[in-house]
């Protein structure tokens, strides 16, 4: 897989510091909000298909309209530095492992916007309520902070529970990620020191031995958050780096997926 350089601004996505109990202990740098008849239990942590996860149970009957919120980072000026002209993508693996979400009426990705220590408001970016099920699935949403005074964001997962509703649900949360960009890249696991996980941009190449006269077709499938009219493919002979061939071509635009264009490009070349 070829990907651009990205940073996961959530410092702890492998559940370091979590402990089972009622209410239990959330991973380091995480926090939560709940109440009005709703209690929280940390059921445990583990790994599924290589994804580090935590299981969190919410139960009780709401005595007032309330929210059960898990924050993946610190609040205020200690939160993730962000501005309103930046696109941010939040993602996490989620599953309902026991009980039901029927007592809630929404399950939102989003974040709190801050200007330093000043709270500016909650920004709900994507409601995943209707699609959450027992299969551990990665969900992602992209948005720009909606307050021009934003300097920091605090990403969350937010369950809304109406007054009088009863809930008992255990949600599995795996490897949450917040990265600057228009789409989610593959999960980045934080280092042991709980600092931001970074991935350098990757480059693609394909080496193939050529016969005295070899007809080669190179096919590339890539995606871009911006319309792409032209792309360039280069073929270089390794024994003679200066002897290379490059061609621009108009890629075929495939259906747009989550705010980015997909493209397919192919060129054919005789290589001696």
The percent of residues in the chain predicted with pLDDT above 90, rounded, is: 67
Instruction: Identify the three-state secondary structure at position 272.
Output: coil
What pLDDT was estimated at residue 271? 46
| Per-residue pLDDT tens over the stretch 181-197 | 999 999 998 766 565 55
Residue that is written with structure tokens 């809930």 in the block? 167
Q: Which range (58-67, 98-107, 195-204) has the least confidence?
A: 195-204
Q: Which two tokens stand for residue 47?
A: 């790994």
Rounded CA-CA distance 160/65 in Å is 8
What CA–CA distances, in Å, run from 28 to 13, 15, 32, 96? 9, 7, 12, 23
Q: What pLDDT digit, counting tens, does each position of 8-21 carry? A: 999 999 999 999 99
- Summarised one tens digit per residue, pLDDT across range 212-262 is 444 555 555 555 554 555 555 555 544 444 444 455 556 555 444 444 445
**E strands present in 134-239:** 137-143, 152-161, 166-180, 197-199, 214-224, 231-237
| Pairwise CA distance, residues 155 & 12, whole Å | 13
Q: Which pLDDT tens digit goes with each residue over 152-180? A: 999 999 999 999 999 999 999 999 999 99
Burial of 158 (0-12, 13-18, 19+ CB in 10 A): buried
């Amino acid at each position: 897989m070829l990907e651009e350089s990205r940073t996961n601004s959530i410092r702890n996505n492998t559940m370091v510091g979590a402990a089972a109990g009622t209410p239990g202990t959330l991973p380091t740098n995480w926090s939560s909000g709940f109440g009005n008849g709703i209690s929280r239990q940390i059921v445990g942590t583990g790994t599924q298909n290589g994804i580090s996860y935590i299981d969190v149970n919410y139960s009780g009957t709401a005595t007032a309209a309330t929210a059960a919120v898990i924050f993946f980072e610190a609040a205020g000026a200690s939160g993730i530095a962000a501005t309103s002209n930046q696109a941010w993508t939040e993602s996490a693996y989620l599953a309902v492992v026991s009980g039901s979400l029927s007592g809630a009426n929404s399950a939102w990705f989003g974040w709190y916007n801050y200007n330093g220590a000043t709270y500016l408001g909650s920004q709900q970016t994507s409601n995943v309520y209707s699609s959450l099920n027992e299969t551990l699935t990665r969900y992602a949403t992209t948005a720009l902070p909606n307050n021009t005074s934003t300097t920091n964001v605090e990403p969350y997962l937010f369950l809304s529970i109406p007054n009088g509703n009863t809930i008992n649900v255990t949600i599995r949360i795996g490897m949450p990620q917040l990265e600057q960009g228009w789409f989610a890249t593959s999960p980045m696991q934080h280092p042991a020191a709980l600092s931001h996980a970074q991935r350098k941009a990757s480059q693609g190449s394909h080496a193939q031995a050529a016969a005295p006269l070899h007809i080669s077709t190179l096919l590339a499938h890539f995606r871009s958050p911006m319309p792409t009219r032209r792309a360039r493919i280069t073929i270089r002979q390794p024994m003679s780096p200066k002897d290379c061939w490059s061609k621009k071509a108009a890629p075929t635009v495939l259906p747009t997926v989550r705010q980015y264009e997909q493209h397919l490009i192919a060129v054919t070349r005789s290589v001696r």
